[in-house]
Amino acid sequence: MFFRFIAERLFHMAIVMWLVATLVFFIFRVLPGDPAQLVLGLEPSRASLEALREQMGLNRPLFVQYTDWLWRVAQGDLGLSISQGNRAVASLIFPALWRTLELAAIGILIGLLVSIPLGILAARRAGTWVDQVTRLFALAGFSLPSYWLAILLMLAFSYQWNLLPAGGYVAPNEDFGRHLRHLVLPSITVGVVMAAVLTRFMRSGMLEVLRLDYVRTAHAKGLSPANVVYRHALRNAMIPFITVVGINFGALIGGMVVTEQVFAWPGLGWLIIQSITVRSYAVVQGAVLITAALFVTINLIVDLLYAFIDPRVSYG
Amino acid sequence: MNKTLRRLLRDWAALVGAGILLLLGVSTVMAPWILPYGFAEVVAFPFEPASAQFWFGTDEIGRDIFTRIIYGARVSLTVGFVSTSIALVGGIPLGLISGYRGGLIDTVLMRLMDMMFAFPAIILALAIIAVLGPNLLNAMIAIGVMQIPLFARLVRGNTLSLKNQDYVQAAIAAGAGMARILTFHILPNTMSAIMVQFTLTFASAVLVEAALSFLGLGVAPPTPSWGAMLDTGRKLITVSPLYSVSAGAAIFVTVLGLNLVGDALRDALDPRMVDA
């Protein structure tokens, strides 16, 4: 049963990925402007323009270009970026993806470290001023434009107190200390917004569980309140919470487009914006596709995890 | 007075949120009569500091920043409202049909929604704007389209649980057609959930619009937009920090107002909430 469930989900995932790839291809092919001309500059000779169009495969029928692209993508070949010195698109995307994931992972970690204790606290003190302060924190964080928070942090820590760099990136193998210093402000920006969103869900999840009979039984058995909350209730409250973390991962990657831009953090979002400005189809296509693939994969993992930790979920 | 309203009036979040939105709405509509300057009018030298005359100082060509922030609300609120309406009008029928009919049509529609969900919202908007070109209308379309799955999923979920209720079964037995059942029996009972979603989606639409303008893909100058002002302010951060701080604060306060109202509305409409 479980294997059938996995197989079915994988099949659905493949269909979603194919639809996503198709959408990505056609969106970028109807863009106005001739990619070959953009590569060559303002007044290329007719011959060189024609040669490049031929080389890029732009003279073939659209459907042939589409099937050819799909076939190559399926094999992991994302093409060449001609406007970025004929480099393989994958060689631009994967380092950027890695940098985005690093930022996202630390952001989520900050989010979890803040939201789990805060959400539990708010649920245990539901209706009191503690709960209301948490609610205000969560709503404020949720309403905060991340790029504004980024600017405020920069104003304070970089321009006013001169403690941390205002942006940029240093590779970890180049200088690990400086790498970390560059990571602080962007990851706080990502983490605060994440914490706000997750706190709300932790609170409501916990509140739901604390109302259940088995929790009352645990209290009645004479267990300490902390024991009831952390050993009995928390486990069940975590089930819906994991889904929320997964869903927010996608939103997070989206939100990071702007954060990366502000901090000049050369991740996937930054790469997408850079490539849109130089009209590098291949890179934008590849980056959007990889982002979507990442998101779909995470959803699948969350689904599987959910079925795995909650015995009530049927695999039907 | 009904229970929902009574709960709302007792919730500080609802009152503060509604107050913010009211103040914003009134000042935006009344802007030409209550503000001394026009939004494109050069009134002083560039980068005048904050003063009684220019509350937030002047911008890079000498326009009053406070005036531009008040007018900027027009763009944000219009884009927020129109795009959320697009999402609502697109999402409701999809969700109703998907949930009510089930089967193949449900599978196909929901996979399509999954596909849209597979794009982080802003990236889909970037793609749509890259195709259509950056301007206000396209921003609204892009933001609206990408929010459709939110409403479709919500309405589908509600429809699924409502369609097996006795009163719906009774209507079917009485010979009511699908359109009638969906419009008169199911839709009214999902309205409260839709209302909450509308407010929260409105809030996130304002944020996305600001992000797009921030990236230079929203409104064209000289029309003031908070996102674009924030971007200009960022580049001039050492000259005039108040510029970006005030533009960002405008976005923050507006979105907070919407979220406060949405959150309070959700609590007030939740039947499991016990009145204290």
For the stretch A132-160, pLDDT in tens is: 888 888 888 888 888 899 899 988 898 88
Put simply, the answer to whether A127 touches B276 (Cβ < 8 Å) is yes
- Greater confidence (B220 vs A224) lies with A224
DSSP letter (8 states) at residue A41: -
* Among the listed residues A85, A263, A271, the one whose alpha carbon sits nearest the alpha carbon of residue A170: A263
CATH superfamily, with its number, for domain A93-309: MetI-like (1.10.3720.10)
Structure tokens at A200: 């709300």
Q: Which residues 209-238 on chain A approach chain B with CB closer than 8 angstroms?
A: none
Which residues of chain B have a CB within 8 Å of the CB of A291? 119-120, 123
Q: Over A140-183, what HEC string results?
A: HHHHCCHHHHHHHHHHHHHHHCCCCCCCCCCCCCCCHHHHHHHH
| Domain residue limits at B224 | 2-33+66-268
The pLDDT value recorded for residue A32 is 55
Put simply, the answer to whether A145 touches B255 (Cβ < 8 Å) is yes
Judge whether B273 lies within some domain: no
* Averaged pLDDT, B203-207: 89
From B119, B121, B256, residue closest to A143, measured CB to CB: B256
From B127, B214, B244, residue closest to A288, measured CB to CB: B127
Q: Who contacts A307 (Cβ-Cβ below 8 Å, separation ≥6)?
A: A2, A5, A313, A315
CB distance A135 to B263 below 8 Å:
yes
The angle formed by the CA atoms of residues A256, A259 and A262, to the nearest 5 degrees, is 150
Q: pLDDT band at A312, cuts 50/70/90?
A: low
For the stretch A52-60, contacts whose Cβ atoms lie closer than 8 Å and that sit 24 or more positions apart, written own/partner, are A52/A82, A56/A82, A58/A34
Q: Between the CA atoms of A16, A17, A19 and A21, what dihedral angle is there, to the nearest 10 degrees?
A: 160
- Greater confidence (A35 vs A111) lies with A111
| Structural domain spans, chain A | 2-89, 93-309
Which residues of chain B have a CB within 8 Å of the CB of A127? 276
The pLDDT value recorded for residue A296 is 79
CB distance A203 to A123 below 8 Å:
yes
Which residues of chain A have a CB within 8 Å of the CB of B263? 135, 139
Residue found under tokens 């999840």: A205
User: Which amino acid is residue B40, in one-letter code?
Assistant: A
CB distance B47 to B64 below 8 Å:
no
Structure tokens at A255: 């939100």
Rounded distance, CA B22 to CA B35, Å?
18
Closest-CA distance, B85 to chain A, in angstroms, reads 20
Judge whether B117 lies within some domain: yes
Put simply, the answer to whether B118 touches A147 (Cβ < 8 Å) is no
Q: Which residues 93-132 on chain B approach chain A with CB closer than 8 angstroms?
A: 111-112, 114-115, 117-123, 126-128, 130-131
The pLDDT value recorded for residue A118 is 92
Put simply, the answer to whether A257 touches B260 (Cβ < 8 Å) is no
Choose the mutation target among B20, B108, B122 for the interface with A, i.e. most A CBs under 10 Å.
B122
Q: How many contacts does A have with B, using Cβ atoms within 8 A?
A: 130
* Averaged pLDDT, A88-116: 89
From A23, A142, A272, residue closest to B126, measured CB to CB: A272
Residue B247 has pLDDT above 80, yes or no: yes
Q: Is A278 on the interface with B (CB under 8 A)?
A: no
* Among the listed residues A106, A267, A260, A266, the one whose alpha carbon sits nearest the alpha carbon of residue A180: A106
Q: Is A262 on the interface with B (CB under 8 A)?
A: yes
Closest-CA distance, B175 to chain A, in angstroms, reads 33
Residue B275 has pLDDT above 50, yes or no: no
Q: pLDDT band at A109, cuts 50/70/90?
A: very high
Structure tokens at A202: 């932790």
Judge whether B9 lies within some domain: yes
Rounded distance, CA B257 to CA A6, Å?
43
CB distance B120 to A253 below 8 Å:
yes
Concatenating the DSSP letter of every residue in B55-102 gives TT-B-TTSBBHHHHHHHHHHHHHHHHHHHHHHHHHHHHHHHHHHHHH-
Domain count across chain B:
1
**Worst-scoring range by mean pLDDT, A223-232, A238-247, B184-193?**
A238-247
The pLDDT value recorded for residue A316 is 43
Rounded distance, CA B248 to CA A144, Å?
9
Structure tokens at A24: 């990505």
Which residues of chain B have a CB within 8 Å of the CB of A29? none
Judge whether B56 lies within some domain: no
Helix, strand or coil, per DSSP, at residue B224: coil
Choose the mutation target among B108, B126, B201 for the interface with A, i.e. most A CBs under 10 Å.
B126
Q: Is A154 on the interface with B (CB under 8 A)?
A: yes
Rounded distance, CA B118 to CA B131, Å?
19
Tell me how far CA of residue A11 lies from CA of A4, A7, A203, A296, in angstroms: 10, 6, 35, 12
Please report which helix (H) or strand (E) contains residue A263, including its range: helix A234-263
- Greater confidence (A83 vs B243) lies with B243
CATH of the domain at B247: 1.10.3720.10
Closest-CA distance, B177 to chain A, in angstroms, reads 31
- Greater confidence (B88 vs B219) lies with B88
Q: Who contacts B25 (Cβ-Cβ below 8 Å, separation ≥6)?
A: B77
Judge whether B207 lies within some domain: yes
Please report which helix (H) or strand (E) contains residue A251, including its range: helix A234-263
Judge whether B182 lies within some domain: yes
pLDDT 10s digits, B25-82 = 898 888 888 887 877 777 777 777 877 787 788 878 888 888 888 888 888 898 899 9
Closest-CA distance, A222 to chain B, in angstroms, reads 27
Tell me how far CA of residue B174 lies from CA of B131, B183, B185, in angstroms: 49, 16, 13
State pTM to two decimals.
Answer: 0.81
By CA distance, what is A16's nearest residue in B? B115
Which residues does residue A87 pair with via DSSP β-bridges, in sequence order?
Answer: A81
Q: Is A276 on the interface with B (CB under 8 A)?
A: yes
CB distance B194 to B154 below 8 Å:
yes
